[in-house]
Amino acid sequence: MTHDTTSLLLALALFLVLAKLLGDVFERLGQPAVLGEILAGVLLGNLPLVGVQGLAFITTDAHLAMLAELGVLVLLFQVGLESDVARMARVGGSAFAVATVGVIVPMVLGTLIAAALLPEASTYAHVFIGAVLTATSVGITARVLSDLGKVDSTEGRIILGAAVIDDVLGLIVLAVVRGLIEGARVGGEGLGAAAIVWIVAKSVLFLGGAILLGGPLSRRLFKVAAWLQIRGLLLALSLAVCFAFAALAGAVGLAAIVGAFAAGLILDEVTYRPLSGREPVGLEEQVRPIGTFLVPIFFVHTGARVDLATFADPRTLLLALALTAAAIVGKQVCGLAVLQRGLDRLSIGIGMIPRGEVGLIFAAVGQTLGVIDARTNAAVVLMVFLTTLLTPPVLAWSLKRRASSSSVSSP
Amino acid sequence: MTHDTTSLLLALALFLVLAKLLGDVFERLGQPAVLGEILAGVLLGNLPLVGVQGLAFITTDAHLAMLAELGVLVLLFQVGLESDVARMARVGGSAFAVATVGVIVPMVLGTLIAAALLPEASTYAHVFIGAVLTATSVGITARVLSDLGKVDSTEGRIILGAAVIDDVLGLIVLAVVRGLIEGARVGGEGLGAAAIVWIVAKSVLFLGGAILLGGPLSRRLFKVAAWLQIRGLLLALSLAVCFAFAALAGAVGLAAIVGAFAAGLILDEVTYRPLSGREPVGLEEQVRPIGTFLVPIFFVHTGARVDLATFADPRTLLLALALTAAAIVGKQVCGLAVLQRGLDRLSIGIGMIPRGEVGLIFAAVGQTLGVIDARTNAAVVLMVFLTTLLTPPVLAWSLKRRASSSSVSSP
């Protein structure tokens, strides 16, 4: 559904101003600004509850959803640009261990809770609800770490690395569970071992290929681009690489944000050295204004889709709270999987809590497959909202607590 | 019609790279880069003619059309930021004279040509086709002037001022003609004098009010914003003002780009002085990366909607060429209306030639009213394309010719 241009432009103006103002209020309270942006969305999206209908379209408008998606791509691209592949590889073992534990434990807990609270649903539905809990929202976590200046700490790199890996693992789980359900529906056997291997292989190939081949290739491409001396070419080319990688990730069945993050990782390696001074600032500085415009749209939009009216049904609330508890507890075991010593395991576990866009994508797929009904969907959205709302203040507290106790400082 | 995200992202990546590369080719040939961006669109949009269907969606995709519209808003906002209200007011008389002549002459010529070539159509249809020729595309002209560094020359300011004024005059003509046609259809008399006065008044009120009230108001707003010291707030607030003014212009029946231009004019007056150095660059520099991303989408999209297959019908071609001739000749009289002496009247007349988005909006309204058929619409699109294609090289030549003949330099 799309709305007319006038309403869309007014909504964008409101999004930008309210997100910045509430973001600032939260920053002054010592909280990450992203929480204020989400709250701005909750306020704007729930105006119909108090009888104001003028902005009711923002939760369903296709154009806003698209701009929000571009916003989260730019955010992950920025996070990738800020990240360092070599330093990320050094925490690769820990990140992989954290991600694996963080996929298995919440999935088992979620399946058990679904079986207990929704006995009338099929086993496939139970497993599917478990799968919804697997993937950490790297967007929320990245933004909180960025707001607190912790992206490049060891803990920050483990959390971001694990969040990317569990996105990939989660999407593999989704592909496998979907294959099982569709296989069962046509009456045949489930998904063959070969198909499972193929889903796993193409995911690994994409990220490995992007980092191993993309790095050297784009280094050459950008050398040519710098030599061409076209004003704005390097920014345009960088955005093109970001969008192309996001599209490629989508094409092989991964989330588009994984591609945008990979593009940022690769271009971080590129020596961005303008020859003639026609490019006054670096790539990160050039991408920042685009992020200032588009990233808040994502968070306001995420907040706007939380329908506060769903809180009215106590059974929805119970399911949501149980799933939220599983989502939180399930990821706390992650911290124990960290291989290095002396690290802030509590912060790592907390950093893995938020579920976001991937969880919502899972819920949408589940509705298409007929294993997730409207009530379960509302509970999933609430779980996403609660984990998202909880993480920023708790993670900020946890990271600051650690920083202030200098006697146990990490290496 | 919307397409899936993967295709959209790939299209954006292609748009950005091809626009920059072809833009550079044209710059190396001494032509404005915008022509290369439009050509990139013509190439991508007509791939179906050579059997490539993968990008066929770009001419009809609603998301791309919306991003293109945001692009032209950002462009006009940038042009407004580069403009100076006080210096523009000094050429106000000339700009108004140029605009008035440039609306009347092409409208009369267009009506006569339509009457001669389309005798079967109604008089309303003839007048409507005349009205399509009135409004100069400030987007194309602004970009050419910007590419050549002439936005702030006296001629540049007259052209831009007149282009904005004839947009307003054109939209008033459209409102009046639409009123006449709808009045005739219901069998009553045409549009009342009161209604005509109201249409005129609200247009004048909008622009006058925006500049007289908006300036002082936004100066205060931005003083508060600078004092709040929120990172990115000034850019977010500026974009919000741009979008809100564009929406307001749309709400009073003007083109949204008129509002974006007015917003740029006002914010140009704002003393943009960051207090603490947290904002490393000025507003124009912060908006530029957003323009680098979005503006080419507008020009590639404009080019993509030119269907080369319409050239096949000789009658369409004849009508298109006749309308193009009227569009060109009609605006050449403009130069004679310039009040100041010693100016480059030829360049001013040429600068007024391109018809763009407003002409296309007119054609769409005419189709809804039933006075413009598919063939006439194709001819209008061709006219828009030809005037757009012609202006950049001819204007560049005209401005350079003047610059090189130092004996007749302007004051």
Tell me what the mean pLDDT of segment A126-133 comes to: 92
In whole angstroms, what is the distance from residue A338 CA to residue A95 CA? 7
Q: pLDDT averaged over chain A? A: 81
Contact B181, B128 (CB under 8 A): yes
Phi, psi (5° rounding) for residue B350?
A: -65, -40
Residues of chain A positioned with their CB less than 8 A from the CB of B40 = none
In whole angstroms, what is the distance from residue A213 CA to residue B321 CA? 51
* CA dihedral sign of residues B1, B7, B9, B15: negative
Confidence of residue A228 (pLDDT cuts 50, 70, 90): low
- Residue B280's pLDDT is 47
Contact A128, A177 (CB under 8 A): yes
Angle between helices A123-132 and A154-185 (to 10 degrees): 160
Look at B246 and A9 and tell me if their CB atoms are within 8 Å: yes
| Collapsed DSSP state (helix, strand, coil) of residue A321 | helix
Interface of B with A in 202-221 (CB under 8 A): none
pLDDT tens-place string over residues A58-71 = 888 999 999 998 99
pLDDT: is A227 or B73 the higher one?
B73
Mean pLDDT per 10-residue section of chain B, whose length is 411 residues: 76 94 84 81 88 84 92 88 75 88 94 93 90 84 81 86 81 76 64 68 77 78 71 86 90 79 77 47 83 92 79 85 94 84 87 81 79 82 82 84 57 39
- Residue B399's pLDDT is 82
Residues of chain A positioned with their CB less than 8 A from the CB of B24 = 228, 230, 233
Phi, psi (5° rounding) for residue A381?
A: -60, -40
Q: What is the 3 state secondary structure string of B166-179?
A: HHHHHHHHHHHHHH
In whole angstroms, what is the distance from residue A332 CA to residue A349 CA? 4
Confidence of residue A278 (pLDDT cuts 50, 70, 90): very low
Q: Which two tokens stand for residue B220?
A: 């205060």
pLDDT: is A251 or A62 the higher one?
A62
DSSP B271: -
Q: What is the 3 state secondary structure string of A239-298?
A: HHHHHHHHHHHHHCCCCHHHHHHHHHHHHHHCCCCCCCCCCCCCHHHHHHHHHHHHHHHH
Evaluate if residue A172 carries a pLDDT over 50.
Answer: yes
Q: Which two tokens stand for residue B280?
A: 């490393």
Residues 6+ apart with CB under 8 A from B307: B45, B46, B59, B378, B381
In whole angstroms, what is the distance from residue A115 CA to residue A119 CA? 5
**What CATH class is the domain A5-403?**
mainly alpha
Tell me what the mean pLDDT of segment A297-321 comes to: 84
Look at B241 and A7 and tell me if their CB atoms are within 8 Å: no
C-alpha distances (whole Å) from A198 to each of A49, A204, A266, A307, B6 are: 47, 10, 25, 38, 21
- Residue B279's pLDDT is 44
Size of interface A-B (CB pairs under 8 A): 151
CA–chain centroid gap for B308, Å, is 22
Radius of gyration of the CA atoms of chain A, in A: 21
- Which of A232, A243, A290 has its CB closest to that of B13? A243
A302: left (phi over 0), alpha (psi -120 to 50) or beta: alpha
Q: Which two tokens stand for residue B30?
A: 């001494």
The amino acid occupying position A379 is A
- Residue A3's pLDDT is 54
Spell out the domain ranges in chain A. 5-403
Look at the block and give the residue holding tokens 């491409």: A221
Other C-beta atoms lying within 10 Å of the C-beta of residue A219: 14
| Collapsed DSSP state (helix, strand, coil) of residue B340 | coil
Strand (E) or helix (H) holding A348: helix A345-351
- Which of A2, A69, A247 has its CB closest to that of B62? A2
Contact B174, B365 (CB under 8 A): yes
In whole angstroms, what is the distance from residue A58 CA to residue B121 CA? 43
Q: How far is B76 from chain A (nearest CA, A)?
A: 15
Q: Which two tokens stand for residue A385?
A: 């909202």
Long-range contacts at A204-212 (CB < 8 A, ≥ 24 apart): A204/A168, A206/A248, A206/A249, A206/A252, A206/A254, A206/A258, A206/A259, A206/A262, A207/A168, A207/A258, A207/A262, A210/A245, A210/A248, A210/A259, A210/A262, A210/A263, A210/A265, A210/A266, A211/A85, A211/A262, A211/A265, A211/A266
CA–chain centroid gap for A220, Å, is 30
Look at the block and give the residue holding tokens 């992007």: A210
Other C-beta atoms lying within 10 Å of the C-beta of residue A112: 14
Single out the residue of B362, B305, B257 nearest to residue A9, CA to CA: B257
Look at B250 and A5 and tell me if their CB atoms are within 8 Å: yes
Counting DSSP H helices and E strands in chain A, the numbers are 17, 0
CA angle B277, A231, B77 (to 5 degrees): 65
Look at A246 and B9 and tell me if their CB atoms are within 8 Å: yes
Evaluate if residue A256 carries a pLDDT over 90.
Answer: no
In whole angstroms, what is the distance from residue A225 CA to residue A222 CA? 5
Single out the residue of B221, B238, B227 nearest to residue B274, CA to CA: B227
- Residue B372's pLDDT is 84
Q: Which two tokens stand for residue A251?
A: 């094409």
In whole angstroms, what is the distance from residue B327 CA to residue B347 CA? 15
Phi, psi (5° rounding) for residue A370?
A: 85, 15
- Residue B286's pLDDT is 86
C-alpha distances (whole Å) from A340 to each of A43, A136, A161, A402 are: 42, 21, 15, 17
Tell me what the mean pLDDT of segment A279-298 comes to: 84
In whole angstroms, what is the distance from residue B353 CA to residue B355 CA? 6
CA angle A321, A325, A327 (to 5 degrees): 115
Confidence of residue A314 (pLDDT cuts 50, 70, 90): confident
| Collapsed DSSP state (helix, strand, coil) of residue B274 | coil
Other C-beta atoms lying within 10 Å of the C-beta of residue B367: 15
Look at A16 and B236 and tell me if their CB atoms are within 8 Å: yes
- Residue A269's pLDDT is 56
End-to-end CA distance of chain A: 52
In whole angstroms, what is the distance from residue B401 CA to residue B410 CA? 13
Interface ipTM: 0.80
Look at B232 and A20 and tell me if their CB atoms are within 8 Å: yes
Picking from A2, A10, A15, A16 by the largest number of B CB atoms within 10 A of its own CB, the best residue to mutate is: A16
Minimum Cα–Cα distance from B241: chain A residue = A13
Contact B102, B166 (CB under 8 A): yes
C-alpha distances (whole Å) from B107 to each of A103, A197, A376, B130, B352 are: 68, 68, 61, 4, 14
With an 8 Å Cβ cutoff, is A321 touching chain B? no
With an 8 Å Cβ cutoff, is B285 touching chain A? yes
In whole angstroms, what is the distance from residue B58 CA to residue B35 CA? 19
Give the CA diameter of chain A.
69
Evaluate if residue A397 carries a pLDDT over 60.
Answer: yes
CA–chain centroid gap for B154, Å, is 20
Radius of gyration of the CA atoms of chain B, in A: 21
- Residue B1's pLDDT is 38
